[in-house]
Amino acid sequence: MPTHPKKIIDAHCHIGEIPPWKYYDLEHPVKPTVYDFPDTKSFLKGHMEEFKVERALVMSNYGVPVHELSFDLNEVVMDAATSNDRILAAIWVSFLPRNAEMTRKALKLAGESRVVALKTTFLLGGNPDPNSWDEETTALADECFDLCEKHDLMFHFHTSPGGNSDFGNFVPLVEKYGKRCKIYLVHMGGGVSGHIKLVPKFLEWVQQGYKVYTDTSWAVGFGARWLLTEIERTGVGGDRVFFGSDEPWSDFDSEYWKLNGVRGISQELKDNVFWRNFETVYDGRG
């Protein structure tokens, strides 16, 4: 039976309450996550204490097509990070011109000591491929990346197979900005096709000097096993993978065991993923 790591740090989880929603034209609003963490107290008790998480990086909860909501939750994120020294903050931003004012307001937090990352998604519109951007989108994206570089922030991007968030659309973004800034591709592609596209390219990017990172949240079946096996086989990328629960949109126990249960992988690599990489990247920032 695989042993438990000495400690666990969650590099990707969400805080803040979002309302039920009529997803996919359902007849009635639903809350698929069942619960969320409206504030710091509920997050500490329901997530960190419940699962014995030593530290965490939190970001706005999202999942309903109300752009303003995730920006508003930056306040909850900052409250958590500034009131508890076990929590760090990722600030919600957007490349969409319609969100320019809210993004620029959010970017004013980029220099705060507890802020170590930015987060965005293209599920609410737009495309990560810089070749698809107009001048206004490009200018806003450049502002975000400029501050990432200035303050040594990680930039989290949601990935999922198909649609705008497909891994293929991120390739030109990584190759444009990824040697300047740390780019974190959440969910390692998000599904079967995403994993198959990402793993070889990810390891190639690391070797080429791109500052790319990922986590195994949402990874299906073979995904985490393949990534960790390739890292052990090649000796490349062991410092670029984090444990992220994606709570409340995933399930902590399943995310934990898909990593700790991988056979034939050294405990050293598992410790890197579960906590050491987080400390190296975030505590060692310039």
Say what the pLDDT of residue 284 is: 74
Q: How far apart are CA 230 and CA 216, in angstroms?
A: 14
Q: Where are the domains of the chain?
A: 9-283
268 near 3, Cβ under 8 Å? no
The rounded average pLDDT for each run of 10 residues, N- to C-terminus, in the chain (286 residues) is 71 98 96 98 98 98 96 98 98 98 98 97 96 98 98 97 93 98 97 96 98 97 97 98 98 96 96 98 78
Say what the pLDDT of residue 161 is: 87
Say what the pLDDT of residue 4 is: 58
Q: Taking Cα atoms as reference points, which of 280, 39, 56, 59 lies closest to residue 157?
A: 59
Say what the pLDDT of residue 3 is: 52
Say what the pLDDT of residue 219 is: 96
Tell me the whole-structure pTM to 2 decimals: 0.96
b/e sequence 124-155, b meaning 16+ C-beta within 10 Å: bebbbbbeebeeebeebbebbbebbeebebbb
Domain spanning 9-283, CATH architecture: Alpha-Beta Barrel (3.20)
Q: Taking Cα atoms as reference points, which of 49, 159, 140 lies closest to residue 94?
A: 140
Say what the pLDDT of residue 285 is: 64
Say what the pLDDT of residue 6 is: 72
Say what the pLDDT of residue 1 is: 39
Q: How far apart are CA 177 and CA 198, in angstroms?
A: 17
The Cβ-side half-sphere exposure at 68, using a 13 Å CA radius, reads: 0
